């Protein structure tokens, strides 16, 4: 995800958020910095992919705003997570 413009942080999830998630998920495990960086890059890429898919679905339905339903429809093979996504959506 590196770019020569120096604005990498504009296109990635904040490292503090990833570090917190890792610490909460794996409290008794040390995770190397390069592994943390890999998680940041994977999360960022996933968000870009799902956003692109949701945008395509939104455009096909002639809407101007991406809705949660567009994101759910753009699950990219992660259909088994739809129930969890809907639970989180209800909590928001």
Place of tokens 């592994």: 35
DSSP one-letter code for 76:
T
**Mean pLDDT value of segment 15-41:** 94
Nearest to 19 by CA among 29, 11, 4: 29
pLDDT in tens, 31-71: 999 999 999 999 999 999 999 999 999 999 999 999 999 99
Taking the complete model, does pTM exceed 0.75, yes or no?
Answer: no
Residues 6+ apart with CB under 8 A from 8: 1, 2
Q: Name the one residue in this structure whose structure tokens are 């959506």.
A: 89
Start-to-end Cα distance in the chain: 29
Domains along the chain?
Answer: 8-91 (1.10.20.10)
């Amino acid at each position: 995800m590196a770019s020569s413009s120096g604005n990498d942080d504009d296109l990635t999830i904040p490292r503090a958020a990833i570090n917190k998630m890792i610490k909460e998920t794996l409290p008794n495990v040390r995770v190397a910095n390069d592994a943390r960086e890999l998680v940041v890059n994977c999360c960022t890429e996933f968000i870009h992919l799902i956003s692109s898919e949701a945008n395509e679905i939104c455009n096909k339905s002639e809407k101007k705003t991406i809705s949660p339903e567009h994101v759910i429809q753009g699950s990219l093979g992660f259909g088994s997570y739809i129930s969890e996504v809907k639970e989180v959506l209800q909590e928001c």
